[in-house]
A and B are shown apart, each in its own frame.
Chain A
């Protein structure tokens, strides 16, 4: 048996527990195969447990383990880093718990906070750097670790309470669709619940960087005066939170 075939049979044993494949591995015995099978699964379960501690606590030990096993059986790891194995658990969560957007959003929050924690470094923009900006042509850069998503539930509130070790509220739907923002400020990952409009604006700004276009969009939604006022307030807020990391003259 050549090396590539041996490694493919080993993969089949680990991923599928394939007895025929295990039987083709020269010298294989049950005790040794079991150690490797256990190591493989324990590593992946451990990664998911470490990446989603609050989801695990919220779901309960047995339900989380069932989720992890289902995910491991259907999603063999591909990335070179074990940390990346946590990236797609929400896919399996949506299959097993299609009617629990609160759990989907809690999972997203935990994953996003972990992702932002090791995002590329970028110095936040100081307000003074905006003194001479031509706003008609300015292009803003946002923090590399910024992640956004729409929110339907109070998952942010649940996350905050569980993180603080206080009683978490029951899951509840928001009265109107909102959004979630995660980014890194200094070395600390941050979470903020917001409205759907701010998420839309940040996603648009990340695509084109144009503050003028953002003002135009807001003016169209809220009217000229309120739109410009909201744009100014949002910009000040983003700068204060360290979300804006650069400004360029796009002319």
Chain B
């Protein structure tokens, strides 16, 4: 049973805070409605990173987006990680706290990658138990993001059925990564529209947009290129289903000047306006 209020609906447009753009954001003149940071980069004892985050927080709402919770670990979550994240969240008072529907760690080994889960009843029970622990420790409802994947385990339910049941049982929200839907759909041969139709649209609080690359055999979620036309089309469909939710463009490598990312964000704004008006 959900123990905390649902995350707020926030309909702005944002960017990830990356080192290359620190000065732009500290100047306070970046036309975004929110800023997303990688939580782990700021879960440090002190120094300049925390100082910069405090300054950015004075100017913008901040989303804490994690990559290391490992919500699908069969041996549970790390209490020390959760305590540090709680301390950061209490200080920053983020718009959302999010992580990925994946696993990274087992028996003390940490892969530092977002590894795929089988969408089985066993995994669902475990993920929901771990989400309950995380939300109880953090004292707030989280969002979980669909990852890109390069392996699909046979049997079980679909990714969207799994996410729908996960939301129903735990009350968590969704961070819908439209690029990840596209990448996984191409890699595994499912219809991306089935995914959009299958997730609970009312649980989506944030949308990620990013670029991908063609690998040797598979599409790879590289975050180093502009958003593709196919992903923009899928975004328009997502907005039509989910309504106006927080949307951001992610770029983690080959980071261009801020103006280029703001131009991509303008495309998202225009598409969202068009679909909302339709």
Contacts and interface: CB of A to CB of B under 8 A. Distances in A.
Interface of A: 2-4, 6-8, 10-11, 14-15, 25-29, 31-36, 39-40, 43-44, 76-83, 85, 117-121, 144-145, 184, 187
Contacts of A77: 109-112
Interface size class of B (residues with CB under 8 A): 35 or more
Contact of A8 (B40, B107, B150): B107
Interface stretch (B119-127, B157-165, B197-205): B119-127
B43 interface: yes
A80 B68 contact: yes
A40 B109 CA distance: 12
B120 A80 contact: no
9 contacts: A3-B118, A6-B118, A7-B103, A8-B106, A25-B153, A78-B109, A78-B110, A118-B47, A118-B48
B180 interface: no
Contacts of A27: 151-154
Contact of B111 (A8, A14, A144): A14
Contacts of B40: 80-83
A26 B151 CA distance: 9
A229 B187 CA distance: 72
A118 B106 contact: no
B28 to A, nearest CB: 19
A32 B218 contact: yes
Contacts of A26: 118, 153-155
Interface string B3-16: 00000000000000
B43 A81 contact: yes
Contacts of A83: 40
A31 B217 contact: yes
Interface stretch (B70-78, B89-97, B131-139, B231-239): B70-78
A3 B71 CA distance: 13
A64 to B, nearest CB: 20
A112 to B, nearest CB: 14
Interface of B: 40, 43-51, 68, 72-75, 78, 80-81, 103, 105-113, 115, 117-118, 120, 122-123, 126, 149-155, 187, 215-218, 220
A36 B115 contact: yes
Given A7-B74, A7-B103, A36 B150 contact: yes
A7 B106 contact: yes
A45 B112 CA distance: 12
Given A77-B112, A144-B45, A29 B151 contact: yes
Given A14-B111, A40-B111, A43-B113, A80 B105 contact: yes
B115 A76 contact: no
B47 A44 contact: no
A7 B63 CA distance: 30
B122 A80 contact: no
A242 B122 CA distance: 54
A80 B110 CA distance: 7
The 10 closest A-B pairs by CB, nearest first: A121-B46, A31-B217, A118-B44, A4-B74, A32-B151, A32-B150, A120-B45, A187-B48, A7-B106, A35-B150
Contact of B106 (A4, A33, A36): A4
B47 A40 contact: no
A77 B154 CA distance: 29
Given A118-B47, A121-B46, 18 more contacts: A2-B74, A3-B118, A7-B103, A10-B115, A26-B153, A27-B154, A28-B151, A31-B150, A31-B218, A32-B218, A35-B220, A43-B113, A44-B112, A80-B81, A81-B40, A82-B112, A117-B48, A187-B51
Contact of B113 (A3, A40, A145): A40
Contacts of A8: 106-107
Contacts of A7: 73-74, 103, 106, 115
Nearest to A85: B112
Which residue among B72, B112, B187, B217 has the maximum number of chain A CB atoms within 10 Å of its CB?
Answer: B112
Contact of A11 (B111, B152, B187): B111
Contacts of B110: 77-80
